[in-house]
Amino acid sequence: MDLIRESSLFQSLTQQSREEAREEGIEQGIEQGERRSTIGAILDVLEIRFDLSEAHPLSTRIAAIDDLQHLKQLLRAAIQVPNLDAFQRILDA
């Protein structure tokens, strides 16, 4: 077993696995940061436009969304909808 661990192929594969795991972790961290930022932007827009409080049930629902593309669509909707009811209909769809 020690011979396998000392082989250059084993060490190379181990290093490659570590690098891939690190890169994947970085990508996940970036996506999570973008997700949190987009949620914050949606809530800011809704607060400014419609006086939505953090305690409002919509805030909790928005914060629970994991899909970044869906959040980006909701951000655009928050900017464009005429009222909070219209936003809620989009969120419910």
Instruction: Give per-residue pLDDT as tens, 32-77.
Output: 999 999 999 999 999 999 999 888 999 999 999 999 999 999 999 9
Q: Is the dihedral of CA 73, 78, 81, 86 positive or negative?
A: positive
Contact in structure between 74 and 90 (CB atoms under 8 Å) = yes
- How confident is the model over 10-33, as pLDDT tens digits? 677 777 778 777 778 788 888 899
Prediction pTM value: 0.76
What does the block give as tokens for 78? 């928050």
Domain count, the chain: 1
Q: How many angstroms separate the first and last alpha carbons of the chain?
A: 57
Residue 27 belongs to domain spanning: 2-92
Q: What is the DSSP letter of 14?
A: H
Q: Specify whether the CB–CB gap between 74 and 45 falls below 8 A.
A: no
Choose between 17 and 93: higher pLDDT: 93
